[in-house]
Amino acid sequence: MQTLPKIEETLIAVIKTLPTEKQQALLEFAEFLQAKTAPKAPSKSIKDFWANADINLTEEDLSTTRKEMWANFPKDIEM
């Protein structure tokens, strides 16, 4: 296996021999690999996401919304 400086030298030498469109494709692939290996921030739970939201729903609010939601739902659906 080659050392890092040798790999960099070889890459640069190869890139210089490629036509512009192939260099562009290689750049896009390198950026893809870079994004794929970048550390990702830990995802937050839904509970944490809404923890600081200033939302106060009461059981009455939810009950009213449920009634409104189901009011126009067809009751004569055949199965």
pLDDT: which is higher, 72 or 25: 25
Q: Are 18 and 26 in contact (CB under 8 A)?
A: yes
What pLDDT is attached to residue 33? 94
Is 63 part of any domain?
no
How high is the mean pLDDT of the chain? 88
Is 46 part of any domain?
no
Structure confidence by residue, pLDDT tens digits, 65-75:
999 999 888 87
Q: Within a 10 A sphere around the Cβ of 15, how many other Cβ atoms?
A: 13
The parent domain of residue 15 ranges over 4-37
The DSSP letter of residue 75 is: S
Cα–Cα distance, 51 to 54 (Å, whole number): 8
| Count of structural domains, the chain | 1
Q: What is the pTM of this model?
A: 0.46
Locate 21 and state its tokens: 């469109």
Is 45 part of any domain?
no
